[in-house]
A and B are shown apart, each in its own frame.
Chain A
């Protein structure tokens, strides 16, 4: 908490060199000035999302046409407001950003739009209608994964909910979707619900605490950090349970591991893809370079969905031939697998996600012409709007057990 909070402090002891560099690039009117605004960096998800954008910006022809400047502001919405203000004043053409609040930034964004700045939000969203939201949020992670867990458990059993960050709208949306399903099944009993801050270590500790009270748990519905839940179960005894979680390499490899399967691990890997950032950046560049006309809208990124039997370990640096997770020798357990997308982002590979480096010889490929519009999510991606009647409809899985 501390260090992230204090990302918002700032300093001045910058030499003349860096100042000279800034003015030189400002004088060069040819390049588009694009800012990448992160709320915080330091977890695998955030840094790989940023790395993808950096790799794309360094891939021809963008390396000649874009000046990408990364700004990390911390978890304080006020700091991000201030950073946006600075970017607008500095003459930004576009801002690609992970917004820390869905509503607090609205006024600043509106002012930016009036000055002609394009705002592209990835993963998390804002309710200001002049910004583009590129997100999987409306794709139903909560309800689909909950239904998958219910199916695995045959509609009966005690479960844990391993949630994200308290007081966060993304966490709330996922949980609302999941509860919509769980509430239909009286046989499903939620015996513990805890916040894991989308972090492996916290998930492990919180799951360990919950296991002391309920060692007989039958299943776990988890948001990011799911690999920690597996470790907590292994610490407590040699028994695993069906669970759903997001896209960490550790979780996917465990799903495919016969040892883990023998201990009882089943489930599905779905959830937030860092590749959204790259998709957002590419759409924005197509608009800036006049290859595409698109009014501000909510754009849906498809929900990644990998059941245990579909996990396949890659041998190369990209997702080829249907493989969808990298081996332990290549990426750590916390690596978020859905950072690459062979269709939308064919330009980048695993090294791009880890280091932000472009792939030798790659050039930017045009995006598919069709863009999927996202449904309304009141308070999440639109302001004072109506949710569709089928808000929680299942898209990836069907109910195999009836309530």
Chain B
């Protein structure tokens, strides 16, 4: 749809350049988030207590991580539906095989990353090497993964290791939420990766695959590793979801699927690929979960909450598109 492809990395320099980059990046969504939090704090004074902030972070982390993975695939111009399946598998595995203690948690998180990476590798092979359409290939892997999750655990149950459920949702020095740190670490890692050849290649492929191919980028390999990285992020999302819900549910990943796309779009990443960023998506996810709180505090009739949800979603996207266009004219 969108045909304008701006360079992935814009030159640094003047303050106008900086502003321009700000509007194209996470600026708008960060401002939106802050505005909502102020409103929420006004409606519900307890919102600013460390406990409430941590609870909010815990609630956001799974969606933020899942949407972060989705962002990688979307940037390279693809869709990844397998997210729902990977999160469900990780969740049921942690619930049927609880490993106590910090060592157990480490093994658990590695296991989740491994599960995500394996599914991602299958997706990457199907899309990168066999050149299947990403939405079709990942639809099939999603169905298969959901089946696997149901085979591992037939109905909700099991217990996630207590160390994980307590430590991963706790606060460091009673202030800093651990889940927030996990998300921050992922964002930090992305900011580093973004500067590497791999990071630049993802954007280049998303913007124009044949041009990227001509300029010597190994499109197949980059696609493959994009899916693998995305899969690992879904695994991490499954890990954080298990920490929050403390139990297994073979369909736990499904509600996050469409929300992840909404978070990506709300963060301003183009669903046509090549434009956007992971941090903006994380803020988009945080805004989505926060909106839920704001709406609750404002006391609208629950029959019609959907009406407001939809209107805000459209308004947010129209507004950020409007600001982005002003930025373009500069």
- Contacts from A to B (Cβ < 8 Å): 1-3, 5-14, 18-19, 21-22, 38, 41, 69-72, 74-79, 81-83, 85-86, 89-90, 101-104, 106-107, 166-169, 171-172, 379
Contacts and interface: CB of A to CB of B under 8 A. Distances in A.
A69 B165 CA distance: 31
B295 interface: yes
A11 B303 CA distance: 13
A51 to B, nearest CB: 12
A7 B245 contact: no
Contact of A77 (B44, B252, B295, B307): B252
A10 B245 contact: no
Interface stretch (B14-22, B255-263, B321-329): B255-263
A102 to B, nearest CB: 6
Interface string B251-292: 110111111001000000000000000000000000011111
A5 B293 contact: no
Contact of A166 (B250, B262, B303, B308): B250
A5 B254 contact: yes
Contacts of B245: 77-78, 81, 101, 103-104
B221 interface: no
Contacts of B311: 11, 13
Contacts, number: 170
Contacts of B259: 5-6, 8-9
A104 B305 contact: no
A381 to B, nearest CB: 13
Contact of B255 (A11, A21, A74): A74
A21 B55 contact: no
B29 to A, nearest CB: 14
A172 B292 CA distance: 31
B299 interface: yes
15 contacts: A7-B305, A10-B288, A10-B291, A10-B292, A12-B308, A14-B300, A74-B255, A77-B252, A78-B62, A78-B244, A83-B292, A83-B296, A86-B297, A103-B157, A104-B156
Interface string B71-100: 000000000000000000000000000000
B308 A11 contact: yes
Contacts of B255: 5, 8, 74-76, 78-79
Given A9-B291, A167-B249, A14 B44 contact: no
B155 A172 contact: yes
B247 interface: yes
A7 B308 CA distance: 10
Contact of B156 (A2, A19, A101): A101
A82 B295 contact: no
B137 interface: no
Contact of B289 (A19, A82, A89): A82
Given A71-B296, A86-B296, A166-B250, A9 B313 contact: yes
Give the 6 A-B residue pairs with the shortest CB-CB distance, closest first: A11-B308, A10-B291, A76-B255, A10-B292, A103-B247, A104-B245
B211 interface: no
B246 A106 contact: yes
Contacts of B63: 78
Interface in B11-55: 36, 39, 43-44, 46-47, 52, 55
Contacts of A101: 156, 245, 247, 249
A11 B310 CA distance: 8
A79 B296 CA distance: 11
Given A78-B245, A86-B296, A167-B249, A13 B308 contact: yes
Nearest to B255: A76
A7 B62 CA distance: 17
Given A71-B302, A169-B155, A9 B59 contact: no
A12 B290 CA distance: 10
A168 B295 contact: no
Interface centre among B244, B245, B289 (most CB of A within 10 A): B245
A19 B47 CA distance: 16
B216 interface: no
A167 B253 CA distance: 12
A10 B309 contact: yes
Which of B43, B252, B305 is most buried by chain A, counting CB atoms within 10 A of its CB? B305
Contact of B292 (A8, A21, A166): A8
A12 B298 contact: yes
A13 B52 CA distance: 23
Contact of B244 (A75, A81, A166, A171): A81
Residue among B46, B262, B296, B301 with the highest chain A CB neighbour number at 10 A: B296
B247 A2 contact: no
Given A11-B311, A12-B36, A166 B251 contact: yes
Contacts of A22: 43, 297-299
B131 interface: no
A1 B254 contact: yes
B150 interface: yes
A86 B296 CA distance: 7
B176 interface: no
B303 A72 contact: yes
Given A10-B309, A70-B301, 7 more contacts: A19-B298, A21-B299, A71-B296, A78-B63, A89-B47, A90-B44, A102-B156
A223 to B, nearest CB: 14
B306 interface: yes
